[in-house]
Structure 1
Amino acid sequence: MTLTDLPQAGHRETELPAAPAAPLLPVIGAGTPVPLVTGERRPYANLDYAASAPPLRAVADHVDEILPYYASVHRGAGYASQVSTRVYEGARETVRRFVGARGDDAVVFTRHTTDSLNLLARCLPDDGEVVVLDIEHHADLLPWRSHRVVEAAATLERTLSRLETELARRPAALLAVTGASNVTGEQLPLGLLTRIAHRNGARIVVDGAQLVPHRRIDLVASQVDYLAFSGHKLYAPWGAGVLVGRSDWLDEAEPYLAGGGAVREVAVDRVAWAAAPARHEAGSPNVLGVAALARACQVLAALPEGCLEAHEDALRRRLVGGLLRVPGVEVHRLWPDSASAVGVVAFDVAGHDPGAVAAYLSAEHGVGVRDGRFCAHPLAARLGRPEGTVRASVGAGTTAADVDRLVAAVEGLVRDGAGWTYSVVDGRCEPDPDPRPWPDWAPAPEPSAGAAPCAGQAV
């Protein structure tokens, strides 16, 4: 499926494309009853996978298996320590296979994608500049000490031409690009970008936070030099991420953190640092997070070829097609010639503030989405939405019923308006009042007093 196959803005289909009735993989929390402001409860429809995906059931079960053997790794003589060490180091090979890494690539465990990109930024040659697009997530826009920002053009083809022109105009050490937009879901052609970077003497790093959970990537085939991604986007939200890539820069750089585990030998007047990956993994590592990340990689790798892509493509087509049937709804995209997209969709409802739309979907329909600028402020401005937009995102646990509930709720909002009142509380639109009960273990929000009504609702 390509984006050109999707319904275009202004086109109204009479029938929606088919989409899966069952989740592709079981996830924790699917169908959990959540309260509405009306006093009812409905199964939660999680359409916020792009922010943090729910854990796969297989991942949660694997963590439970490991917990009795959890211990510090690498130098413990105890049985539990040896088991944990094997789990931790074995995870490197699992991740290496999952992304098709080269045999001599380093696999460095981090906290998340942002951490991975900041680590790589510390490892660049002293005089190395970085070229980035203005559409990047802040994690791929802010870490670089010396960078040149290229403004994306109105088409993907012209955008790639601009990147090549900039790299040819003045040498750069690195081209930093997203694999898939965290706002519109549109993918960038990694093979072509890699060739552009390499023929101009630069390496390439891919922010894979939104790509890796949705599409398979092969570093050998694509010749991508570095890849960063997060466990919490990959159905393993236990606080681990990873940077995979060529080891020379990582071996030559100062350690990301100075401390135990990153050294070969220490004296009071000198230190001999270890090579990567240990060089950049000082301190006690997140064994459980790394194990969860590796297990998620195993589960996704075991799916039949193209299965995940087909599942998400069908859901995205149904979501976009359904939204475009609703008068006043606009679905955003960056380029008319982009070839493919993952299951991330940004949209607006005319006359309704994005925050009010998201609050309404949650409070009155039990649908979870996200609103705002998604840590991509320049991209939001490029889309003409400096105040932000609404984003719905799907994954392995999403069904057609989840998508249909969102579309029906948006139709109801346009036709009848919201059934509740909403106020701005701490900068966010919230139901006012909010009678929904909270779990006993979760702190309830403070009652709002004198808050202003949210924009885009009848008052």
Structure 2
Amino acid sequence: MTVTTELGTATCGPTTPTPRSPGAALLPVVGASTQVPLFDGTTRTYANLDYAASAPALESVAARVTEVLPLYASVHRGAGYLSQVSTALYEASRQTIARFVGARPDDVAIITRNTTDALNLLTGCVPAGGRVLVLDVEHHANLLPWQRLDATVLPIEDTVVATLAALERELAASSYALVAVTGASNVTGEALPIADVVRLAHDAGARIVVDGAQLVPHRGFSLEASGADYVAFSGHKTYAPFGAGALVGRRDWLDAGEAYLAGGGAVREVRAGKTVWTTSPARHEAGSPNVIGAIALAQACEALAALPAGALAAHEGRLRARLVAGLEAIDGVRVFRVWADSADPVGVVAFSLTGHDPGLVAAYLAAEHGIGVRDGRFCAHPLLARLGAPEGAIRASVGVGSEVEAVDRLVAAVRTYVTAGPAARYTIVDGCWTVADDPRPLIQIHGLSGLAATAAACTPAPLQPSAP
């Protein structure tokens, strides 16, 4: 990647390691060898199976951040040498991020905090009176912002074919400006075929925004190839957890829409009684931008883009298939699916154990096996209710840093739970399951006040958990 400024040409690019074996990580991530304490006094390498919530940083991303921190300064209006360097790096990162999602020449990339931030930004850019259509399969980030515009929420059907037919009927019956759709479910990894949704939306005169939070880091995505109008995604799910995300798409709505934040950098002229806003992307990036976050996200995009064609999908596909097969072989385990005819899900698997609280199972996996998973309703309450799990489920998710050992460890741990039960005694503290009188020592790091503080921050389950 190169960018030319008053200083000349700046160049940056990752070094991509070669995968070691089919069961090994595809790219090295920070924390892959971190040891965590178990309740019995031993330690174990942490098995991070919670990529769908927040993925670890790539080692190349951490190295890039360390490299550029000494060069950090204010951007866009600074005359100092480092200000010009930082500006060049920031704008080069914007170009890389846009290129990673196949932006068209006239598209614009806006640096945001995350997917939620990006989608909220877009709500202020839908033309006045324009109606929005969204499905009930969505993450709250792609549902709640549109409710402010009184969006129509279309219930999904039991199959992809039937859901597409329902979508087509709704688009024919009413006029919509925008269709909002997930690129991959954060609950099951499934999705509607984007190309078909784009065709239906465009045939009806509507635009489409893709929630790419779970798609972009795991399968890649192209605005130009798909025909979609906008895509939003997060750095913290794309191996760059430094507080940046992006909204990329067609310029006209973004140039005409309400400025997302009122502040410096978003304006051309300010007088006592009048403000003239500038165009995108600056129009929506008031205040000092997250320069380091943007650079980190761009580095992650370059590292993922440098992988051999198909390597990412093949890696995650192998791990997901192994996980699903292992779980389905255990009595009492249900693996959730949204559609009977869906294909090519990303590496996200939600499951439940009949008669067992998901929070208890997750606490057991952490305390007795060093496994990190997610439990609850995953900010997708309508979908969990539709799947028959209003009390929540357990979610395991993989990515470029995942290895087969973690998957096998999870399957073995769930089998042990079903056949022998937990070895520790568990109790509910502030709505969360935890080991009673937890003996695990704290990691010696400044600012860690205790695992109890983490438990206190948990959101209580919607229903009172049953005792183990």
Q: Aligning the two structures, in what range does the TM-score lie when normalised by the shorter sequence?
A: over 0.9
Once the 2 structures are TM-superposed, how far is the Cα of residue 20 of structure 1 from its aligned partner?
Answer: 3.0
Which has the bigger relative contact order, CA under 8 A and spacing at least 6?
1
- Residue in structure 2 matching 1:160, options 164, 167, 182: 164
Match of 2:16 in 1: none
- Residue in structure 1 matching 2:48, options 31, 40, 46: 46
SS of corresponding position for 2:350: strand
Match of 2:291 in 1: 287
Query: 1:356–1:456: 8 Å Cα contact kept in structure 2?
Result: no
- Residue in structure 2 matching 1:443, options 426, 431, 449: 449
Residues 190-269 of structure 1: matches in 2 within 5 Å?
A: 190-269=194-273
Aligned mates of 2:214, 2:402 — CA distance in 1 = 16
Aligned mates of 1:259, 1:351 — CA distance in 2 = 53
Aligned mates of 2:49, 2:140 — CA distance in 1 = 22
Aligned mates of 1:168, 1:430 — CA distance in 2 = 51
1:382 equivalent to 2:378? Answer no
* Count of equivalent residues: 437
- Counterpart of 1:210, as a letter, is Q
Residues 32-181 of structure 1: matches in 2 within 5 Å?
A: 32-144=34-146, 145-181=149-185
SS of corresponding position for 2:96: helix
1:406 equivalent to 2:415? Answer no
SS of corresponding position for 1:311: helix
**% identical equivalent positions:** 62
Aligned mates of 2:38, 2:368 — CA distance in 1 = 5
SS of corresponding position for 1:136: coil
Once the 2 structures are TM-superposed, how far is the Cα of residue 394 of structure 1 from its aligned partner?
Answer: 0.2
Aligned mates of 1:292, 1:322 — CA distance in 2 = 36
**How much is the aligned-residue C-alpha RMSD, in angstroms?**
1.5
- Counterpart of 2:137, as a letter, is I
Aligned mates of 1:378, 1:395 — CA distance in 2 = 26
Match of 2:366 in 1: 362
Once the 2 structures are TM-superposed, how far is the Cα of residue 421 of structure 1 from its aligned partner?
Answer: 1.0
Query: 1:352–1:455: 8 Å Cα contact kept in structure 2?
Result: no
Q: Tell me, which stretches of 5 or more residues in structure 2 are unaligned?
A: 1-20, 457-463
Aligned mates of 1:315, 1:445 — CA distance in 2 = 30
- Counterpart of 2:258, as a letter, is E
- Residue in structure 1 matching 2:438, options 434, 437, 448: 434
Query: 1:176–1:206: 8 Å Cα contact kept in structure 2?
Result: yes
- Counterpart of 2:436, as a letter, is D
Change in 2 beyond 3 A, CA 1:57/1:402? same
Aligned mates of 2:466, 2:264 — CA distance in 1 = 54
Aligned mates of 1:175, 1:146 — CA distance in 2 = 13
Can you list the C-alpha shifts for 1:205-260, whole angstroms capped at 9, x where unaligned? 00000000101211111100000000000000000010000011111112100110
- Counterpart of 1:22, as a letter, is A
SS of corresponding position for 1:251: helix
- Counterpart of 1:275, as a letter, is T
SS of corresponding position for 1:260: coil
1:306 equivalent to 2:310? Answer yes
- Counterpart of 1:166, as a letter, is E
Change in 2 beyond 3 A, CA 1:306/1:67? same
Once the 2 structures are TM-superposed, how far is the Cα of residue 202 of structure 1 from its aligned partner?
Answer: 0.3
Aligned mates of 2:95, 2:385 — CA distance in 1 = 41
Match of 1:416 in 2: 420
Query: 1:418–1:457: 8 Å Cα contact kept in structure 2?
Result: no
Aligned mates of 2:318, 2:106 — CA distance in 1 = 38
SS of corresponding position for 1:214: helix
SS of corresponding position for 1:374: coil
Aligned mates of 1:455, 1:262 — CA distance in 2 = 48
SS of corresponding position for 1:213: helix
Once the 2 structures are TM-superposed, how far is the Cα of residue 187 of structure 1 from its aligned partner?
Answer: 2.3
- Counterpart of 1:67, as a letter, is L
Match of 1:6 in 2: none
SS of corresponding position for 1:234: coil
Aligned mates of 2:430, 2:204 — CA distance in 1 = 48
- Counterpart of 2:54, as a letter, is S
Once the 2 structures are TM-superposed, how far is the Cα of residue 54 of structure 1 from its aligned partner?
Answer: 0.2
Match of 1:391 in 2: 395
1:187 equivalent to 2:191? Answer yes
Aligned mates of 2:252, 2:241 — CA distance in 1 = 30
- Using structure 2 for the length normalisation, give the TM-score: 0.91
- Using structure 1 for the length normalisation, give the TM-score: 0.93
Once the 2 structures are TM-superposed, how far is the Cα of residue 271 of structure 1 from its aligned partner?
Answer: 1.7
